[in-house]
Structure 1
Amino acid sequence: MLSEPKSEHRNATHYVAIAKTVHMHEIPDVLPPLIPEVKQWMQERGIEAAGVDFFLYKTMNEEGMLECEAGFPVSEAVEGDGTVIAGTFPSGNYASIVYTGDFKNMMQGHVALEKWITEQGLTEIRQVENGKTQWGGRTEFYLVDPELEPDPEKWQTEIVFKLAD
């Protein structure tokens, strides 16, 4: 199930994450285990999450290899340590849609948001060079924790794309 897409201005948000390069088919096995690692790193330093966990997709090549980050928003900038990096979602306009259901079918949310952006005459920040797509901010925010809600039909993910101003 998909919500109505929307666009809105968002303020800059700091985050901490672990960066990984992964094939798109390996995402379910590689990225989720990074979340507890980041959470533990934050707890050891007394850093509170300022939102739900996320996967940020930065680039993808023609073979389906993605440069990703898995982490949490934080209320103020912190320093990473090599394993955990610090970053910022930039201030600006974003389009979003909420997908409800099993993660294995989430691609329909991405496709629906891409279509809506085009229909609205908006433009996602993205460039393609030498067969590699680079996004300005393609993120999935996991609104419902699968460990707390065992029914995949109740899982909710906010899919967010950074728009050109």
Structure 2
Amino acid sequence: MLSEPISGHRNERHYVAIAKTVHMHDIPDTLPPLIPVVKQWMQERGIEAAGPDFFLYKSMNDRGELDCEAGFSVGQAVGGDDLVIAGSFPAGNYASLVYTGDFKDMMQAHVALENWIKSEGLTEKKVEADGRTDWGGRTEFYLVDPDFEPNPDKWQTEIVFQLED
């Protein structure tokens, strides 16, 4: 199930994450295990999460390999290290919707948001060249944690794409 898409301005949000390059088919096996590693790293440093965990998709090549980050928003800028990087979602305009359901069917939410952006006359922030797409930011925020809600029909994920200003 999909919510009605919306667009609007968002302020800058800092985060910590682990960066990984992964083939799209390997996302379910590769990215989720990074979340507890980031969470432990934060706990060891007394850093509180300022939102749910997320996967940020930064780019994809024509072989289906994605440059991703898995992490948590934090309340203020912090330093990273060799394992965990610090970054930020820049201030700007974003389009989003909430997908409710099993992660295996989430691609439909991405396609629906892409189509809505086009139908509204908006433009996603991205650069396409030489078989590679670099996005301004495509993020999945996991609003309902599967560790606490075993029914995948109740899982909720906010899908967010950065727009051109």
Query: Normalised by the size of structure 1, how large is the TM-score?
Result: 1.00
Equivalence map 1:71-110=2 (5 Å): 71-110=71-110
Secondary structure of the corresponding residue to residue 70 of structure 1? strand
Gap runs ≥5 in structure 1? none
Q: Which amino acid aligns with 2:143?
A: L
CA distance in 2: counterparts of 1:88 and 1:99, whole angstroms: 23
Q: Which amino acid aligns with 2:35?
A: I
The Cα of 1:19 is off from its aligned counterpart by 0.1
Gap runs ≥5 in structure 2? none
Q: Which amino acid aligns with 1:116?
A: W
CA distance in 1: counterparts of 2:121 and 2:65, whole angstroms: 29
CA distance in 1: counterparts of 2:91 and 2:82, whole angstroms: 25
CA distance in 2: counterparts of 1:148 and 1:9, whole angstroms: 31
Q: Which amino acid aligns with 1:135?
A: W
The aligned counterpart of 1:54 is 54
The aligned counterpart of 2:125 is 125
| Cα RMSD after superposing both structures | 0.3
CA distance in 2: counterparts of 1:146 and 1:25, whole angstroms: 20
Q: Deviation string for 1:24-46 (max 9, x for gaps)?
A: 00000000000000000000000
The aligned counterpart of 1:147 is 147
Secondary structure of the corresponding residue to residue 144 of structure 1? coil
Runs of 4+ in structure 1 over 3 Å off:
none
